[in-house]
Structure 1
Amino acid sequence: MSSSNPNASSPTGPTDASGEQWGSEGSKHRRKRRLWPLWTLVGIVGLGGILYATDIIMTEGNVPRGVSVGGVDVGSMSKPQAEARLKNQLSDGARAEVEVAAGDMSTTLDPAQSGLSIDWDATIDQAGQQPLNPITRITSFFQQREVGTISAYNDALLDQTLTRVEQELTRDPENAALSIDDAGTADIVDDVAGQTVDTDEVRTAVKDHWLNEQRRVDVDADVTEADVRRDAADDAVEEVVDKVTAGDVIFAGRDDTDGVLRPADMGRIVTFVPEDGAFRVDWNRDAAQEILDEQLGGTEVELRNAGFTGTGRNLNVTPSQDGVLIDWEKTLDPIEEKLLDTAERRHEVTYEEKKATYTTEMAEKASFDDVVGSFTTGGFADDSGVNIRRVAEQVDGAIVLPGETFSLNGHTGPRGEAQGYVDAGIIQDGHADKAVGGGISQFATTLYNASYFAGMEDVAHTPHSYYIDRYPAGREATVFEGAIDLQFKNTFDTPVLIEARADSSSLTVDLRGVKQVEVESDTGARTNFTDPERIELSGDNCSPSSGARGFTVTDTRTVRDLNGGVLSRDTTTTVYDPAPIVSCSG
């Protein structure tokens, strides 16, 4: 009887879940085929682990694979190797000049002189360590990673450079300029905007970007526009330049002679000054007069008073001449209207007749018989006497016409060695000294007193700072070439002749003419005394002195006509400083 038990064993052995029999050779091969992928995977993982471990060991401490700095591949290198390569390939570029620009201005800096350099260690360190992530390590074989450079700074050097850079990127605004050139056309200079830069911004930009490929650092500029712009110049050209240069401006003079102001002359006459956003126009009438006078001067007749030639009292009369002179004020004013008028470019010259104030007839009646003023001084040293006699020679015979002013400096001109003057004693700061021309003040004092008693008008005289006892107190004068002068005016209607004579011990100056007045001098008492100070000097020119007290004194001049009537009475006050007590050392 057969069994129906489904679990009864097969005669060939047990079966697996798929119905295969376990014990057969075929089933073993089939099982191997099913397990080989697993073993392959295990092998690959194991090999990968070995390679991974080997890579970690071999690259320990190196720059990560795939890293470049400034385009230079340093991946997988040791740090010393990477630093050497970077220095070799990037150092020259890091030393190149850097342009720093702001607005429309730029300048340059030298990195080495500015304390800018590359921190090689920090640059390499920032690449980091070899990654532990196996995927990252694998992709690093195929990808490059760029890391930036890190800079090092010498702040002291950088501060010096940035101070200069800031100055060279800064400027004040410049107004437009306008002028008329020698061709009679407008010459315009455009305005320039001013600008400033922020110091901190410049510093940050330079530090962050000095190593970029362009070798250029850009900084923002704060711009300030000029007060007077190009459009103001254009307006002035239309309103003024085009009109004054529209053609010749003619000034018709006598004898068919014309003076012409041409467009090319207008640059000397018309100038433009930037002011309050526009151009102020300045009109130079003197320049226009100078240009026209060169052309019209021949139409004038010189005004000349009568004069005298000859020596001493052997004089000949130089005739007077009435003049015909251009009245420039009436001819030119208002100059702006005449130059801007494009319709009327021709104007008449206005002349004025001038009569001589001292005529030939007056000169022919002149007399120099009377001594109208005279004064004598003495007591001078030999060297001073040389200069006194020389200036007396120059002044002797001078004539002062009615209404004229005599100037001692103007008459003699320079008084140096070339003119016959020598080194002689002077008073310098209250003590004795020497200078070329010393002693001239004695002549000035003598001439001043002669003119004083002649009734001449005192135009300019300067007393000595310290009183000199050979001169009358409050009635003396000093001179200094180019600075201090003696001047007096002949207010009478007759001329005066100056006669000056000097010997080894005295000097006399006479003013001769027609006596018309009597003059009295009243010298007041000395007051307000001041005591001298003591000083010590050295040198060959030092001269000991006991000093002298300073004081104040007045002088009153009374001028009377020949009948005794008072014409004027004037008082002058003179303050003398104390002369120091001088002792010499050495």
Structure 2
Amino acid sequence: MRPVGEGIWVSGTNGTDGSEHENDDVRPAEPDSRDSSEKESNSASAPTEQFAAFAPPPTGDNSPNEPDDRAGRTADSPAGPDTDEPSPSDAPTTVIPVVKRPGRGEEPSTTPLQRSSDTPAPKPVGSTPLPTSESRPAQPQDSRPAQDSRSAQDSRPAQDSRPAQPPASPPTPPPPVAPPPGGNSGSSGDGSGPWWSGLPKRTVALVVGGIVALLAVLYVADLAISSGKVPRGVTVAGIEIGGEPLDEAEAHLREVLTERLDEPVRVLAGETTGEIVPAQAGIGIDWDATLDRVGSQPLNPFARLASFFGTEEIGVVSTRDDAALVVALDEFTAAAAYAPREGNIVFEGGTPVPVIPQPGQRVDIATASDVFAERWAFGEVSLPVEQVDVTVTREGLDRALADIAVPAVSADLVVRGRDGTAATLARDQIGAVLSFVPDGNGGLTPEYHPEAAVEILAPQLEPTETEPRDARVEIQGGSPAVVPGVKGELVDWAKTLETFPQLLAVTDDRAVDAVYQTVDPELTTEAAEKLGINEVIGEFTTGGFEYASGVNIRLAAAEIDGAVVKPGETFSLNGYTGPRGTAEGYVESGIIEAGRPGKAVGGGISQLATTLYNATYFAGMEDVAHTEHSYYISRYPAAREATVFEGAIDLQFRNPFDTGVLIQTITTSSDVTVRLWGTKTVNVQSITGERTNYTDPNTITLPAGPGCIASAGAKGFTVSDTRVVTDAKTGAQISNATRTVRYDPVPVVKCVEPDEKDGADSEGDQGAGDAPAPASPAPAPASSTPESVPVGAPAQAPGEDVADTAEPIAQPETAAPPRRQPESVSIPEPAGTSAN
């Protein structure tokens, strides 16, 4: 609402014809010294209300009966009746143009105020009642320009601005006017600002100051009340201690968190779960550092205000024993980790099956330790896991499956040999010769295995092949002769399967012809003739074995007969003969078992080994490996004999000459001879030393039966042998080597019947021999036990002396006897008895 004239405020709504007034508001008005043009402009600018006001009474120069020369009147303006006492209805009026809100069908009017020139000026407001809507005459709209109104108002006398007289009685207040839709109820009447814009600045300042003072009082009061307490909203591992006194908060935390140290904490890593007890994992609590995190009351008013609406988790500061923590987490992290599964293709019969790639997972133990130490107090810890990517994509897998694997198994592969023979690689065998590996670019690369194909195909074409046969040297008419070798015709599988990948890529006509090649024997006729095998260079004979040992000796001797040792080659007796079991015809014979004579399949081969060793000894061969018997055996030369045991003890020698060596074996029912042929270049002399350091045997008493072999026993001793090698042409000494051997005493074995009482304990007397053996070997009775040597026994039944005899016993001639060495034992036997 605005003052529009001198004297009163009127607020209401006029019809467009000026005939209606609603919600008239009549108040005393302050004099308004603004010019009429400003007042007219202010009146016309109100967008939400319509105003009407009475003009001030005319000055003394304008009587009621005189024409009004002020601008704003029109020639046809109606005049009131010419009377001395104007009635309220006759009072001159000023019509404020109707102003309606834009957008409601009316534009704000710029028509100036209208006043009748024939109507006398109204009386002061104090003595003249306000006209009602019924008595107010309608005023026509004035179409004159607005500038005429402004000029007329500007020419009005200054008396028009005199103060209005107070009304005789207060006017009846009109009913309130509802705010316009969408308007701001807190705005001033003209909608130009907030509700307080109409208030005096001093009032606004007082209100604001009061609010600030109130907030300050509340801040100080809140700060005083919370002094010495934990800030609001603080939690430690989910434990709410905000607002508690500091000492009570500490006690609360110590009670709860100390219990949690001994409670299992659920640990997760991906899909793997487990439990770890913090205290057992080396976790503790740093109370000082944890309580320091609580802090003091915040002074920032905004922080204090925010504490009413949220929480602050400060966590627990832990101490840790890294070694114990790693141990506790190691098993869990190992279980949580798994290797990636690369995409691949496998074959199930004749069907290729794709292996879908799957990333792996791993847990970094250092990171896991840090996370557990930080989060254990919450009762559950989720450890971070790292994904281990795969290199094969699903697209690459599908491509290899469609382009390679499926065609590869579409049909059988056939290799055509001679004479109509064919070898077939069936489609369900393709998986044995084809596999896939990652190519590094997301795909799979095929890998072909021709050797696996050869294993399947070669046996099928063997009938079409001719194996080569080496040239050999045979003793014919008492002298060596070369038997020519035979060339062979074999399938060249490398050339035959050159197109193997291409064959597997096609789906029809999957056949190829076998390529044959001529193959020379390993030892050709020409090479055999150049070996220089033409004379005996070493020979030795042993005898005195029993029948069973003879069977085994003759079998092994036949296997090595005719063997050729080329220059620089090493010969192995076990390697050349191979297994010596019942399947090969070997029988049970004497060995040394558990420190005393025993029996096993293949026993007796040590006699062949001793014979071969002595033949190579005198032929000048280089000793690579040999072992003497634990007990001395009288038919063998002392310190110049050997034993063997399949899989444990071997006899090996090397041909050091430029010519070859032929092994010839000759056996009878009682002896065996080994003869070496070659080119003689050296002479060998053996010098056997005196026997010293005799030791007495023990006596062992066993129950009579097959497991007991009686023995008269013999003393043990130490002896050495020296080999002197000289040049066969010049006689110059080439080498001089001494080997010292200590033989164990042969125990006295007594086989006692259960009812015999000879004073001996049934488990055997392990003391010094009750019947010491003579100082020197004596002939044994006819019932003497077979020679006890570890010869040819199966690996599943080794004796104790087998392990002992595995130790080499090469000593210089002047060296003291070793503390414990396998030594041969002299068991006197009559001729013809069996021994190993």
TM-score by length of 1: 0.48
Looking at secondary structure, tell me which structure has more strand per residue. Answer: 1
Looking at secondary structure, tell me which structure has more helix per residue. Answer: 1
TM-score by length of 2: 0.36
